[in-house]
């Protein structure tokens, strides 16, 4: 007799540069409002050093490099957000700043796809962000590179749509650094091996349409390309 009454879902995972072994994903955490110029373009108030806040995306929302994000339901404003992704290899709670980067296995490129109109409604009404952020196919994630290869230093981050550059910044512009994000997040949740953290997007977010090709790049990491597909 089978252990499960229905077939369990395939485990989510990411390729890692330089090895056939894949990175198993346990949780996908995202950081909100982590670049001041993006906070300003969204017309959001608040102090630039307001504590970081977090939300999650479901594991089965992952789309791999070269994949398709079908245009999601119930939105007329699908936005891209290019983000540096940190993959956690060593767990911990209340991780101090001094050792936070020791928990990082490596880095990758991610897209925090957003139903901006639904997110705006949620903000206005004080509702959770799930419907704007955690929909099907909302988490394209690229190949990881081990930190001992790519390092931890700030790097250029950019995104183009059909060849036009829309976002161009540097991760040094993050309000809360990767070190600080790991430390703060680990106060809310015990981090575990397999967690990935999308660290927020710079300014220049905007809408995409069916047929658009999104090219996301973070210096020193494999690029991430996805196409917006027809509605399912």
By CB under 5 A, name the binding residues for Mn ion: 81, 112, 201
Ramachandran area for residue 147 (φ above 0: left; ψ -120 to 50: alpha; else beta): alpha
Closest CA to 108 of 87, 90, 94: 87
Beta carbon nearer to Mn ion, 186 or 201 = 201
Q: Report the nearest approach of Mn ion to the CB of residue 57 (Å).
A: 10
Q: Report the nearest approach of Mn ion to the CB of residue 28 (Å).
A: 11
**Which three-class secondary structure string do you get for 155-183?**
CEEEEEECCEEEEEEEHHHECCCHHHHHH
Q: Report the nearest approach of Mn ion to the CB of residue 204 (Å).
A: 12
Q: Report the nearest approach of Mn ion to the CB of residue 190 (Å).
A: 23
Beta carbon nearer to Mn ion, 84 or 191 = 84
d(CA 217, CA 223): 5
Q: Report the nearest approach of Mn ion to the CB of residue 31 (Å).
A: 7
With a CB cutoff of 8 Å and minimum separation 6, the contacts of 9 are 59, 60
| Residue nearest to Mn ion as judged by C-beta position | 112
Beta carbon nearer to Mn ion, 16 or 214 = 214
Beta carbon nearer to Mn ion, 42 or 101 = 42
Beta carbon nearer to Mn ion, 95 or 174 = 174
Phi then psi for residue 143, to 5 deg, are: -65, 140
d(CA 227, CA 161): 10
């Amino acid at each position: 007799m089978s252990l499960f009454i229905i077939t369990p879902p395939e485990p989510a995972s990411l390729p890692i540069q330089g090895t056939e072994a894949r990175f198993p994903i346990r949780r996908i955490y995202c950081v909100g409002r982590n670049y001041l110029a993006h906070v300003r373009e969204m017309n959001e108030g608040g102090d630039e050093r307001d504590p970081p806040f977090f939300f999650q995306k479901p594991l089965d929302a992952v789309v791999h490099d070269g994949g398709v994000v079908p245009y999601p339901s119930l939105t007329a404003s699908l936005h891209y957000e290019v983000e540096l992704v940190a993959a956690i290899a060593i767990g911990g709670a209340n991780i101090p700043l001094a050792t936070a980067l020791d928990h990082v296995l490596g880095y990758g490129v991610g897209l925090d796809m957003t139903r901006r109109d639904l997110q705006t409604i949620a903000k206005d009404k004080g509702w959770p962000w799930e419907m704007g952020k955690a929909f099907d196919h909302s988490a394209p994630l690229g190949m990881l590179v081990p930190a001992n290869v790519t390092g931890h230093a700030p790097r250029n981050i950019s995104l183009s749509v059909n060849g036009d550059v829309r976002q161009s910044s540097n991760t040094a512009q993050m309000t809360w650094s990767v070190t600080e994000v790991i430390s703060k997040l680990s106060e809310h949740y015990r981090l575990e091996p397999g967690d990935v953290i999308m660290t927020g997007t710079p300014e220049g977010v905007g809408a995409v349409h069916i047929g658009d090709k999104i090219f996301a790049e973070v210096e020193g990491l494999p690029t991430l390309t996805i196409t917006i597909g027809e509605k399912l």
